[in-house]
Amino acid sequence: MAEFILPSGNVIPQLGLGSWYMGEDPRSRQQEIDALRFGIEYGAKLIDCAEMYGEGEAERIAGEAMAGYRDRLYVVSKFYPHNASREGVIAACERSLTRLNTDHLDLYLLHWSGTVPFEETLEALYQLKTQGKIRDYGVSNLDIDELEDFCAADKVGLCATDQVLYNLSHREPEWAVKPFCDKRNMAMMAYCPLDQGALVHHPELITIAERHQATAAQIALAWLTRQKGVVAIPKSSSIARTKENLDSVKIVLTEEDIRELDKAFPAPVNEHEGRIAIR
């Protein structure tokens, strides 16, 4: 699978496993563990979590799924804005490490902007990085103005990513966030890469998929991961869908495919359309 070199020199895989909505129904717990573990054994190298997901239960599920495979995985988690103080970030990280049953996170993100000054949050992230508790840090759901402010406050200059809503139906980050990330060699992580399943029914995607003997979901994911620095994190509790998502790396889109996708899903053309959505 493709990888991208971050400002720190560390490498992040460009396709992984999401966990949003996992851990919310105890009846689905084993199915979710099984889907993640299958994905890991099938070759996925990244798992994305957050303390918000299932109020920590998604991290516990991921921790069980990756047992025995931690050394070959890139693990991401996120902390609440109300935990973004210096003491709060450090305590939240320790809780996430315990739930994930690991001694470090590869990437730790502020989940969205809150009231704590970025400078204070960054001091905690620097400390965690110095201690080896995290290898890289970044943000999630920050629009361009907030992202610029965060990076201006980052005296070390190693912000690794902004994780945002990005897919064919939501191309708003291309207006300003993606160019900013590109200029700083930051990754842009795309959550909801299939628009919570809506894209799998789009006729244009289905038509292109038929040409590749693939699925609409695979085309949507291939469109994302063909872009330098874009990391897609589709979530599925189904083993079959997890396999399908990971197999998207085998697809090479043609110039004709890209033209047709651009026509069906136009990029933003003004600043208003380029304001990112937050979820």
The tokens describing 274, both together, are 């380029």
Interatomic CA distance for residues 198 and 193, integer angstroms? 10
Query: Active-site residue among 53, 74, 137, 166?
Result: 53
The Cα 42–Cα 36 span in angstroms is: 10
Q: Is 219 helix (H, G, I), strand (E, B) or coil?
A: helix
All residues at 6 or more sequence positions from 103 whose CB lies less than 8 Å from its CB, including other chains: 97, 132, 133
Specify the DSSP class assigned to residue 63.
H
Phi and psi angles of residue 257, each rounded to the nearest 5 degrees, phi first: -55, -45
Chain centroid to CA 131: how far?
A: 24
CA distance 277 to 172: 8
- Asked whether 195 and 167 are in contact (CB, 8 A), the reply is yes
* Rounded-to-integer distance, Cα 62 and Cα 76, Å: 11
Residue 53 known to be catalytic: yes
SS3 content of the chain, % helix, strand, coil (to 5): 50, 15, 35
Catalytic residues: 53
